[in-house]
């Protein structure tokens, strides 16, 4: 794992929460994007050394929908920036870490992403996020 790329926060209403992060906390909104495959609308907030990813469910098929129903709004995942995501996934699998998919899938900003099951990471949902070749940091 190279660095923390972003911290994912589950929210009920993206526009309302963007106002909190920008106007109340004084942070900068970087972009808003829909990630169809994950059924989420996301906003990236610049927090200096790390981004905050606000996630609003687009439907009840979204993992964020179930999370908010069970636990309410709050910290949902921590994303590690990696390069060579398939190799990293293979290494983790060999070490006994349970991944939620065989292959990475599309994430925000054209990244390839994959998740580790929170049960095998001791209560934390970790994402692997590979933006190599996308020109974004
Ligand atoms: C756009 C993209 C990007 O950055 O580019 C994104 O981030 S998309 C971000 C949204 N997409 C995802 O999160 C996709 C990957 N996530 C998933 O597939 C799911 O959310 C799972 C992590 C498998 C959980 O779903 P499941 O239906 O199993 O829910 P569940 O409520 O039965 O949870 C099973 C157990 O895991 C725990 N659990 C569930 N979600 C958790 C979370 N976020 N953090 C820590 N623990 C969590 C529950 O408390 C439960 O433990 P107990 O059994 O002890 O009660
Ligand atoms: Co994420």
pTM: 0.96
User: From the CB of residue 11, how many other CB atoms can be counted at a distance below 10 Å?
Assistant: 23
Q: What pLDDT score does 133 carry?
A: 67
The residue to mutate among 55, 63, 121, 127, having the most atoms of ligand 1 within 8 angstroms of its beta carbon, is 63
Task: Report the domain count for the chain.
Answer: 1
Per-residue pLDDT of the chain (137 residues; tens, 9 = 90+): 889 999 999 999 999 999 999 999 999 999 999 999 999 999 999 999 999 999 999 999 999 999 999 999 999 999 999 999 999 999 999 999 999 999 999 999 999 999 999 999 999 999 999 998 664 55
Instruction: Say if 133 falls within a structural domain.
Output: no
For residue 17, being part of any structural domain is answered with yes
CATH, residue 77:
3.10.180.10
Q: Model confidence over 21-56: pLDDT tens digits?
A: 999 999 999 999 999 999 999 999 999 999 999 999
The answer to whether residue 7 sits within a structural domain is: yes
Would you say residue 136 lies in a domain?
no
**Dist. CA 35–CA 106, nearest whole Å:** 8
**Structural domain includes residue 122:** yes
Q: Which residue, 64, 5, 3, 54, is CA-closest to 25?
A: 54
Q: Is the CB of 67 under 6 A from ligand 1?
A: yes
Give the distance between the most distant pair of CA atoms in the chain: 45
Is the CB of 79 within 6 Å of ligand 1? yes
Is residue 134 assigned to a domain? Answer: no
Spatial distance between the Cα atoms of 33 and 36, rounded to a whole number of angstroms: 9
Residue 135: the pLDDT is: 47
- Which ipTM did the prediction report? 0.97
55 lines ligand 1 (CB under 6 A): yes
Find the domain containing 26 and state its range.
Answer: 1-128
Does residue 113 fall inside a structural domain?
Answer: yes
**Ligand 1 pocket residue status of 131, Cβ below 6 Å:** no
Give Rg (Cα) of the chain: 15
Q: Is residue 117 part of a domain?
A: yes
133 Cβ contact list (under 8 Å, min separation 6): none
Distance CA 111, CA 131 (A): 5
């Amino acid at each position: 794992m190279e660095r923390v790329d972003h911290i994912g926060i589950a929210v009920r209403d993206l526009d309302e929460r963007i106002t909190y992060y920008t106007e109340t906390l004084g942070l900068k909104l970087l972009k808003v994007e829909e990630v169809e495959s994950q059924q989420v609308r996301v906003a990236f907030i610049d927090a200096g050394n790390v981004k905050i990813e606000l996630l609003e469910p687009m439907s009840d098929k979204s993992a964020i929908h179930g999370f908010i129903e069970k636990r309410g709004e709050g910290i949902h995942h921590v994303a590690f920036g990696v390069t060579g995501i398939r190799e990293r996934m293979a290494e983790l699998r060999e070490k006994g870490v349970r991944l939620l998919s065989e292959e990475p899938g599309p994430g925000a900003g054209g990244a390839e992403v994959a998740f580790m099951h929170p049960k095998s990471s001791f209560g934390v949902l970790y994402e692997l996020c590979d933006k190599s070749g996308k020109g974004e940091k």
